[in-house]
């Protein structure tokens, strides 16, 4: 009994500190220093309502939208509860057929020329919200036709939403699909 009282007291003290005080302090600092990120990095749509997070990819298939890279999450596409790739390798016949089907689908949608790999291959998480500037620009003619906008206007929108390498050295330039689609809906709903 002599050893049980300090153990229970320590459990209570550390539960309060680690389960209450520390998370509250960290959350408060995050809200004060990085309010947009701490609240989920949400993007506003045409009517000012939040349409989603800039951190998680979403499905878009309408020709008037910029399309994201495919998702390989289980149960449904872009399922954040099932984040993960398909684990299918480049010699897997099912994977090769999936990629061929995606290429065929893009070609039937009017995409010509070289198709960037990210448009036919899912990301490791299956939730990547970005595509390359090349993948975004190849979709400009389709979107311009669907929205009755000039390709130059759409190219400027893509350029304005192209994020450079992180800290100038990490990763590649990228375009957030949801951010561009939010701007497109503000122009022509």
Phi-psi region of 87 (alpha: psi -120 to 50; beta: other; left: phi over 0): left
**DSSP state for residue 80 in the 8-state scheme:** G
8 Å CB contact between 95 and 41: no
Q: Give 27-78 as a 3 state SS string.
A: HHHHHHHCHHHHCCCEEECCCCCEEEECCCCCCCCCCCCCCCCCCCCCCCCC
Q: What is the pLDDT of residue 95?
A: 86
In angstroms, the Cα distances linking 165 to 30, 84, 115, 132, 171 are 24, 24, 22, 11, 5
Lowest mean pLDDT among 1-5, 43-47, 87-91, 105-109: 43-47
Give me the percent of the chain exceeding a pLDDT of 90: 53
Beta-bridge partner residues of 162: 175
Q: Per residue in 25-53, pLDDT tens?
A: 999 999 999 988 888 888 877 777 888 88
Q: What is the pLDDT of residue 137?
A: 95
Q: How sure is the predictor about 62, in pLDDT bands with cuts at 50, 70 and 90?
A: very high
Tokens of 76: 């449904």
Tell me: pLDDT of 15 over 70. Answer: yes
Q: Is 170 helix (H, G, I), strand (E, B) or coil?
A: strand
Across residues 54-72, what is the average pLDDT? 89
CB atoms within 10 A of CB 46: 14
8 Å CB contact between 142 and 110: yes
Tell me: pLDDT of 2 over 90. Answer: no
Tokens of 50: 């939040």
Task: Look up the pTM and report it.
Answer: 0.78
Maximum pairwise Cα distance, the chain: 80
Q: How sure is the predictor about 189, in pLDDT bands with cuts at 50, 70 and 90?
A: low
Lowest mean pLDDT among 4-13, 81-90, 146-155, 169-178: 81-90
8 Å CB contact between 118 and 132: yes
* Pairwise CA distance, residues 184 & 43, whole Å: 13
Mean pLDDT, all residues of the chain: 88
Q: Per residue in 99-141, pLDDT tens?
A: 999 999 999 888 888 899 889 888 777 788 999 999 999 999 9
């Amino acid at each position: 009994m002599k050893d049980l009282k300090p153990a229970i007291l320590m459990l209570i003290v550390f539960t309060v500190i680690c389960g209450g005080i520390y998370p509250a302090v960290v959350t408060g600092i995050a809200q004060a220093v990085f309010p947009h990120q701490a609240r989920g990095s949400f993007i506003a749509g045409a009517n000012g309502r939040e349409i989603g997070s800039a951190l998680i990819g979403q499905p878009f298939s309408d020709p008037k939208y910029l399309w994201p890279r495919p998702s390989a999450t289980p149960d449904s596409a872009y399922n954040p509860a099932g984040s993960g790739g398909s684990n299918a390798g480049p010699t897997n016949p099912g994977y090769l057929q999936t990629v061929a089907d995606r290429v065929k689908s893009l070609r039937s949608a009017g995409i010509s020329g070289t198709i960037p790999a990210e448009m036919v291959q899912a990301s490791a998480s299956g939730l990547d919200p970005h595509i390359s500037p090349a993948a975004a620009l190849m979709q400009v003619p389709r979107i311009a036709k669907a929205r009755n906008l000039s390709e130059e206007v759409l190219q400027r929108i893509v350029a304005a939403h192209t994020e450079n390498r992180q800290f100038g050295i990490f990763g590649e330039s990228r375009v957030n699909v949801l951010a561009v689609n939010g701007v497109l809906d503000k122009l022509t709903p």
